[in-house]
Chains A and B, each alone.
Chain A
């Protein structure tokens, strides 16, 4: 089929995103790294809007949990990002999720300044039973989260398809499709809610991985994933979903589009060669790396390991080789068993102190004594 034909065949293009978590503070990271990760969440929204433009989508659906900490910096930042676009015919729909439910004091409330900053083509799903005609051929139905927790199925509260109802029906809610039947307490979504409500696409948010639930369902129910990963252990993140509805055939085409800047990795290193290789062979500038170092090293190697780790981490004066490094070094142990050899050429008084520290190391104060030995070792090295 030619592009032109294909183009004619597409009835509706949507960009589906969710779980921005703007304002997340990343308290588990060093003070210097936190702003990088927090600011990245706003930056990725800008890229998402660019992707929307690139693909000339008809609408952008943002399926909840858009704010983590809705501070002024971030709602103003979001409003600015949106306002700089000129999208009169490309509505953007912002859905309150369970992290940022619509309440009288929330940013979504019509009296909040945030609302005043939004362009008219940005719509907040601020009431139950929201409907919007995306085109002559498509309608959006949505219900917002009005609390941080709830057991109601917001998808099943969308209106059912009536007989003879022909347009494309798109649903958008926020919730979890994974709770056990009878134990739904976190805005549960029935796994076949899209079918039961006669929808053609159900846009949902909450889970941070990209997923269709279930994969082979007749009507897609899609988590697009969080556009920038939030924590270690998450997988398949960093995407938006581009949804293409054809004129013929109900099931839309869904495409993952990567928008993330950061790649999150977890590495465990247990030998010096691997550590050297990590430093020398990989570009880690866009990586959030959790590095666990599990090594027992002699003083010379320990010192090198410290240098490499400092190189990876960077300092106030110099960028590290790793974009953001979370270092777990509890298991990096100085092997002091032969450390006295490093002091052999030094004055006797220093060697006496070394012997005393080694004696101390055999007692209850082992860790402190080992640290002291390392301090002494470092201070006696040339150039220190």
Chain B
């Protein structure tokens, strides 16, 4: 899209303005407060604001009551012409006309429809007015801000994004233009359908809809209803179950009471039966007892006879045993008499003279053996002493030899260590000497280097002084070129020229000149400052707003419109310009004010460069002075170098240099090496001293041990005992054993001698005691014979008595019939067995108690029956199985409703999730939109800034996040204001370039330095070749060269086949006067 023409009336400070635009770069320039920005606002308003909007109230004229009106003609990419006209205010109107040729217009939309149609045509992300969510007032939109942004804040676009767009048209246009991700039609359809389903169920904020028509509402209502019904039925069922349970419990209890009553009656019957059975059994039992007693008596009589017979047999056996005992006692008495006689004979033998003689002979033999043993004991003791002494001497000699040998080994080792220590000491001393030489070599090299460096710095200082001198000469050259008016003079001239322009711009009212020539003459005309083509033949008619300059042959005619005062003022200013400014320009060789301005700029730059050269010269001199070496110092270094070379022994120079090289020429390392060598020498000296002392001590020890060995050897020679073959210890042990055996035998002989006496006395005593014992046994045997004889007599008397008693009892058995007695017992037993046994012993009191319990149980059961009947009534009034069945159905209904609800929930949650994921995917893909825009902007920005900054980062919704610099993302507001406005301008240019759309830049780049301004000038010019650019500025030379400015007396100038279109708007905008 590009603008063709705008006409503004009564809009803010602009009474009237009529501007036409070229297809490329349009630079609308003029001084401040002339209404440039108001014209830009008028173009914005006619495109974006409804004529009824209150926003436009700010643009109502300051000095009259006219309604603001704007007409804008523009052309879209389909080569169609559009003209939008709006008169703002409550009685305003809007029309949109279209045309294929720009001449014949047809109404396309009127009134309210105009803005919807316009927004559709623009595609800037602004929803048509009227609907929900449509913007009111001046709508926010990314493209609206980018393409038609207001003057300030210039960098505000960097905070803008697609977020505030009220529809997707802007994004769609950008994605298409930037060839970034574009919504695939299928994707769009799917997302739209899914969103439609989500919208059925969820609010815009993602909450579930609960009202009528919500898919959740109906099923939720079903669930609530089903749950309510179930709850009601459940309560009824609970009541029913409670009543039923109560009834069942009572029935159970009654059943238990029934059983208890029945048991009580049963017990009563059993007690009564027990009573009867007990009486019958008692009678039968008594009869059985009587017959059993008779039988027992008769059986006992038979048993007594048998017992008497057995007693008689036993007495016969006792008589026989007593006879045998008497015989045994008589035999014992005879044996005892014989043993007593033998004991008497033994006593007599022991007390005889032969026995005493035998004892004396034994004693003497023992005493002789005792003397032999004493001699053997002494000999063994002597041998033992000799052996022990010899063993001690041998041991001392061996020890002395061993110690001497060990001491000699230690001495050898110490001597060897001493030799090593002496060697190390020598090496350390040699290293120290070498390192001292290295030190000298190092010092010599350092001194040599210093001297070389000093010479080099002296040369550098000389060069710097030369450079400084050259700078001074250059500076003098710069300042000695032609004299240029000062900046102050330039400013005065610029203000004067601005006044001239303003005064001339205020001329107006229109003028028309008709020339009818009598004879041919050359005619030329300049209308409102614009040269006109003039046909060769007349008549000629010229119409202008302000001025017409005519050349008729040699004659020059100036026609000026406007009121007298205005004309006079303009004339006066023009005269003043001619009188004051032109001579000055001519005197300095400048044709135009711009040339003068350029010259002033150049002169200022030269002065600045000259000052910088002088400043640099001073700095160089200061550096040279700092570099100059001190002569005293140099002499000192040279003297010392000679001394060092003298000190350095010639034979070690090569080795020392080699070592210095190994140390990498590092003095620190050399000092370390020297310290190490000194430490090693000191350590070696200390070791030698220590080992010397140790060696001396060990030599003394060896001498002492040798003396000890000699003493022991002499002592060994005095001992005439060789070491036994079994060894000293074994032989001594053997002799000690022999001596002990001799002592033991001597002790044994002494005991036997003492025992020989006492044994003779003891044998006599024992024989006498045996005699007494045998005499006692003989008396006991005689007693036993007498006792046996008495017992035999007793048994024979007892037998006679028992035989008499047996005869009497046998006679009594004749009257007894045992079989008859047994039959009587069997019969009585059978009678008793046939009778039933009572369950328990029962008394009349037991029977009475059972009767009482039975009566109480019956009473309890009857009371319970009353309770049961009441509970039945209660149960019958509630639901029972009917309610249970209904509750079951309600449960199923609830389950199904909940399932339906769950299915609905899942279904719509699925739609919601789908929309979310589709949007996420689109957003991720949409990052290309941000990247697509960021890339060209970054490239241009890097070109502008010399790649000082890295990549620009822009989000998918085109929000500028920051700029990469020094390895991190930097916020835009960290940049200087100038750099921010440059970045913002580049972003706007890039967007407009890709869209092929007009871009309006209202006083941008005001904070930009001249160098970057030059760069931008080229960029804008290049941009104008592809797309329309409308620049409104009070600094035209930021965008145009001096030659491209509108010539004096004209208002418009085209260059490059119209691609550069300069408009001096002062002539075209009729601004209202500003007064207090």
Contacts and interface: CB of A to CB of B under 8 A. Distances in A.
A305 to B, nearest CB: 15
Interface string B902-935: 0000110111011001101110110000000000
A360 B913 CA distance: 10
Given A146-B876, A369-B910, 18 more contacts: A28-B896, A98-B880, A148-B882, A149-B881, A151-B875, A183-B248, A183-B251, A185-B247, A186-B880, A347-B187, A348-B925, A350-B918, A352-B924, A353-B920, A356-B921, A357-B917, A368-B910, A368-B913
Q: Which of B248, B875, B880 has the most CB of A within 10 A?
A: B880
Nearest to A185: B244
Contacts of A182: 251, 255
A362 to B, nearest CB: 14
Interface stretch (B314-322, B670-678, B887-895): B887-895
B245 to A, nearest CB: 10
26 contacts: A27-B229, A27-B889, A27-B892, A28-B889, A148-B882, A149-B880, A149-B882, A150-B876, A152-B872, A185-B247, A347-B184, A347-B187, A349-B184, A349-B921, A350-B921, A368-B906, A370-B910, A371-B909, A371-B910, A371-B913, A372-B909, A372-B910, A372-B911, A375-B197, A375-B910, A379-B193
A353 B184 CA distance: 14
B880 A185 contact: yes
Q: Which of B251, B878, B917 has the most CB of A within 10 A?
A: B917
A182 B252 CA distance: 9
B910 A374 contact: yes
B899 interface: yes
Interface in A349-384: 349-350, 352-353, 356-357, 360, 365, 367-372, 374-376, 379-380
A99 B190 CA distance: 54
Contacts of B878: 148-149
A350 B890 CA distance: 44
Given A27-B890, A372-B914, A148 B883 contact: yes
A372 B917 CA distance: 9
A280 interface: no
B548 interface: no
Contacts of A27: 226, 229, 889-890, 892-893, 896
A375 B181 contact: no
A151 B882 contact: no
B240 interface: yes
B906 to A, nearest CB: 5
Contacts of B910: 368-372, 374-375
Interface in A78-92: none
A99 B882 contact: yes
A352 B128 CA distance: 33
Contacts of B184: 347, 349-350
Which 5 pairs from chain A and chain B are nearest by CB?
A149-B880, A371-B910, A147-B876, A27-B893, A352-B921
B630 interface: no
Interface in B134-182: 181
Contacts of A1: none
Contacts of B248: 183, 185
Interface in A144-202: 146-152, 182-183, 185-186
A152 B873 CA distance: 11
B880 A148 contact: yes
B1024 interface: no
Contacts of A380: 186, 190
Given A353-B918, A353-B921, A150 B872 contact: yes
Contact of B917 (A185, A353, A370, A371): A353
A96 to B, nearest CB: 12
A330 interface: yes
Interface of A: 27-29, 98-99, 146-152, 182-183, 185-186, 231, 330, 346-350, 352-353, 356-357, 360, 365, 367-372, 374-376, 379-380
A35 to B, nearest CB: 16
Q: Which of A150, A151, A330, A349 has the most CB of B within 10 A?
A: A349
B879 interface: yes
A343 B883 CA distance: 54
Contacts of B889: 27-28, 231
A330 B893 CA distance: 16
A358 to B, nearest CB: 10
A129 B892 CA distance: 39
B920 A350 contact: no
Nearest to A149: B880
Given A149-B881, A330-B899, A28 B906 contact: no
A379 B194 contact: yes
Given A98-B881, A149-B240, A376-B914, A352 B925 contact: yes
Interface of B: 181, 184, 186-187, 189-190, 193-194, 197, 226, 229, 240, 244, 247-248, 251, 255, 872, 875-883, 889-890, 892-893, 896, 899, 906-907, 909-911, 913-914, 917-918, 920-922, 924-925
Nearest to A356: B917
A352 B187 CA distance: 12
Contacts of B924: 352
A143 B875 CA distance: 19
A373 B397 CA distance: 110
A186 B189 CA distance: 63
Contacts of B890: 27
B906 A148 contact: no
A313 to B, nearest CB: 13
Given A182-B255, A349-B181, A371-B909, A148 B914 contact: no
Contact of B872 (A151, A352, A357, A374): A151
A42 B899 CA distance: 30
Nearest to B876: A147
B882 A367 contact: no
Contacts of A360: 913, 917
Contact of A347 (B186, B875, B893, B896): B186
Contacts of A356: 917, 920-921
Nearest to B911: A375
A346 to B, nearest CB: 7
B90 to A, nearest CB: 48
A379 B876 CA distance: 59
Contacts of B881: 98, 148-149, 186
B190 A379 contact: yes
A375 B881 CA distance: 46
Contact of A375 (B882, B914, B925): B914
A369 B187 CA distance: 18
Contacts of B922: 349
Nearest to A206: B881
Contacts of A350: 184, 186-187, 190, 918, 921
Contacts of B186: 346-347, 350, 380
Contacts of B913: 357, 360, 365, 368-369, 371-372
A124 to B, nearest CB: 19
Contacts of B880: 98, 148-150, 185-186
Contacts of B872: 150-152
Nearest to A379: B190
Given A185-B247, A185-B875, A379-B194, A371 B896 contact: no
Contacts of B892: 27-28
Contacts of B189: 379
A174 B248 CA distance: 22
Nearest to A369: B913
A99 B880 CA distance: 10
A146 B872 CA distance: 13
A150 B899 contact: no
A371 B255 contact: no
A41 to B, nearest CB: 14
B925 A149 contact: no
Nearest to A329: B903
A104 B672 CA distance: 125
Contacts of A231: 889
Contacts of B899: 330
Contact of A368 (B181, B255, B909, B920): B909
